[in-house]
Amino acid sequence: MSTIDKTLTLINFENNWCAQCYTQRPIINKISHDFNSYLNVRVVNSDAHPELAKKYNVYSAPSTILLRDGKNR
């Protein structure tokens, strides 16, 4: 994830079985498309990557965090 270090990154933690995550997905895709010149958007399945969810203290889905210079602000 080297692209996180120098720019803004939006990380959306979701699960495949989550109805709210499914509803939110088009919004995240629109943000990714509209702001792709200066915002990295990453979608993470928190069930498949529990260590990453733990790193950012994510305990429920969907959870969205914004990183600046690789740090949660």
Quick one: tokens of 22? 């499914």
Report the relative pairing of strands 63-68 and 39-45 from DSSP bridges: unpaired
Q: According to the model, what pLDDT value does residue 38 have? A: 84
Burial of 60 (0-12, 13-18, 19+ CB in 10 A): exposed
**pLDDT average per 10 residues of sequence, the chain (73 residues):** 64 95 96 91 96 94 90 72
Q: What is the pLDDT of residue 33?
A: 95
Residue 68: what pLDDT? 87
Provide the pLDDT for residue 70. 76
**Cβ-count burial 61-70 (b if 16+ within 10 Å, e if not):** bbbbeebeee
Q: What is the pLDDT of residue 1?
A: 46
- Residue 61, SS3? coil
